[in-house]
Amino acid sequence: MNRYVAFNGDADGLCALQQLRLAAPDEFASARLLTGVKRDIQLLRRIDACEGDVITALDISLDQNRTDLLRLLEAGASVRYFDHHHAGEMPRHGRFEPYIDEAADVCTSILVDRYLGGRHCAWAIAAAYGDSLPEVGCAMAKAQGIDAEAVRTLERLGLYLNYNAYGETVADLHFDPAELSTLMQPFADPLEFVAGSDAYARLAAGYEEDMDLARRLTPTRQVPGAMLLMLPDAPWARRAIGTLANELIQAQPDRALGILSPKRQGGFTVSVRTPGHSPVAAADFCRTFDSGGGRKRAGGINHLPESEVDRFTREFETSLSR
């Protein structure tokens, strides 16, 4: 029997895996890890499983992995699936164990936390902050009796872990998420990881350098209720795209935001954020483009061809502005 874990390389995927590893170290000790940059989500296609193999999927859209999920189940594998993104029609199969909730106030690490009965909740709190759910993270920390200084540390940890996943390829990142997950593994307490790991210090320094550059950028287009920003073609900009999007939407919560990042082989990666009052969900808007998806207030397009930029700009401003 072979074990596989396919997980998103961002804070949510990393912290979900960390909780499961801590709860069942023997189960995950020999598991093969499959991950990548944040937008590398069709991870089940990398698995060639046999009857009796066990697969855990964390924070990757079922809808984007449907064909390979059904292939793996047909091959005789068992699949346990934790996610909070758009799933579409849910497969029904005796070896499929879904823990999927698309509610706006959950992330995958929270679903894992519920599954484990809160045994490693601090990691889920860090993930909530990293996944742009600060109110949820704060409420969870309060329920756990975590003091204010520790909460601020968990918030920064989630932010840095999430930031590390943004890039066109793993070469853009400060850490390969698989390597980062291994560096996190010995620490039952995320505060101990912060205090005792050189990785955290490297992430913090890299984040501050990148964001200092990102905060100097100016919008490409602005209309009432919507703003577009074009990033330069540089590794620091590809790393900063997600955090910059979250910062800008928090600073201007009533304005829709679109950020385009050039890709080395042509076209763009796109991040979209929408206000809470928007009648159009970010995920629904992004799915009108090939390779688009996400959730209610945060969506993205993995590849927007150059020829589609004008259409994107027009429909973004028409659909999401006031």
Q: In a structure prediction context, what are the per-residue pLDDT tens digits for the chain, which is 322 residues long?
A: 999 999 999 999 999 999 999 999 999 999 999 999 998 999 999 999 999 999 999 999 999 999 999 999 999 999 999 999 989 999 999 999 999 999 989 999 999 999 999 999 999 999 999 998 999 999 999 999 999 999 999 999 999 999 999 998 999 999 999 999 999 999 999 999 999 999 999 999 999 999 999 999 999 999 999 999 999 999 999 998 888 988 898 898 999 999 999 998 899 999 999 998 888 999 999 999 999 988 888 899 989 999 999 999 999 999 887 6
Residue type, 251: A
Picking from 62, 143, 53, the residue whose alpha carbon sits closest to that of residue 98 is 62
Residues with Cβ within 8 Å of 107's Cβ and at least 6 positions away in sequence, in order, are: 12, 59, 84, 127, 128, 131, 133, 136
Let me know: does 173 contact 164? Beta carbons within 8 Å.
Answer: yes
Let me know: does 92 contact 109? Beta carbons within 8 Å.
Answer: no
From CA 257, how far away is CA 53, in angstroms rounded? 42
pTM of the model as a whole: 0.85
Let me know: does 154 contact 191? Beta carbons within 8 Å.
Answer: yes
End-to-end CA distance of the chain: 55
Q: Domains in the chain, ordered, with CATH?
A: 3-206 (3.90.1640), 221-320 (3.10.310.30)
Strand order in the sheet with 226-230: 221-223, 226-230, 256-262, 268-273, 298-304, 292-294
